[in-house]
Amino acid sequence: MRHIISALVQNEPGVLAHVAGMFAARGFNIDSLVVGETEQPEQSRMTIVVRGDDRVLEQVRKQLAKVVAVIKVRDFSGVAHVERDLMLVRLSVTAERRGPLLDLINIFRGRVVDVSPKSILVQLTGPEDKIEAFIECCRPYGIKELARTGAIAMTRG
């Protein structure tokens, strides 16, 4: 099962390595890991996406909560939440194919952030499945370069 774990941590050296090591020690591959400062500069929020057994992951979550630098841990599984991923993708495009590509970008509510004679750089945000669908639709144009942030999430309400 896919789990999105959010950990509010002290913004200090070594915390990221410690947390990632806990998952690796238990045999969990981290699908994505995003870390950024919160509204309080001395704290960061880590958003970790992993797939695995619910029971074992619950033990990891509990151990994570015991780490001194960790303030709060939350698993978004089964909780109403908003999840977003950010992607930048550079697509090959000729003048005659630019129109249909721009239509596709608009359908997915993407934004063109850079244009050159032979390529378009697109920014797209949304849930993982939307990002994946856009990537598949763009493959015929030719993906030159792609970068993704990984998921971030917050509970609703």
Same domain flag for 14 and 71: yes
- Domain's final residue, options 16, 50, 75: 75
- The residue with greater pLDDT, 126 or 1, is 126
Query: How far are the Cα atoms of 24, 92, 146, 155 from residue 31, in angstroms, in the given order?
Result: 12, 27, 16, 20
The per-residue pLDDT for range 33-65, each reduced to its tens digit, is: 999 999 999 999 999 998 888 887 888 888 888
Mean of the pLDDT values across residues 81-104? 94
Mean of the pLDDT values across residues 4-19? 92
Other C-beta atoms lying within 10 Å of the C-beta of residue 74: 18
Count how many domains the chain has: 2
- Domain's final residue, options 75, 108, 138: 75
Same domain flag for 68 and 90: no
CATH number at residue 60: 3.30.70.260
Same domain flag for 7 and 48: yes
User: What is the reported pLDDT for 59?
Assistant: 81
CATH number at residue 128: 3.30.70.1150
Mean of the pLDDT values across residues 97-123? 96
User: What is the reported pLDDT for 43?
Assistant: 96
Mean of the pLDDT values across residues 80-98? 94
Residue 11 has pLDDT above 80, yes or no: yes
Same domain flag for 97 and 124: yes
Residue 100 has pLDDT above 80, yes or no: yes
Considering only CA atoms, which of 107, 103, 123 is closest in space to residue 115?
A: 123
Mean of the pLDDT values across residues 80-85? 95
Residue-range definition of the domain harbouring residue 9? 2-75
AA letter at 101? L
Mean of the pLDDT values across residues 20-26? 85
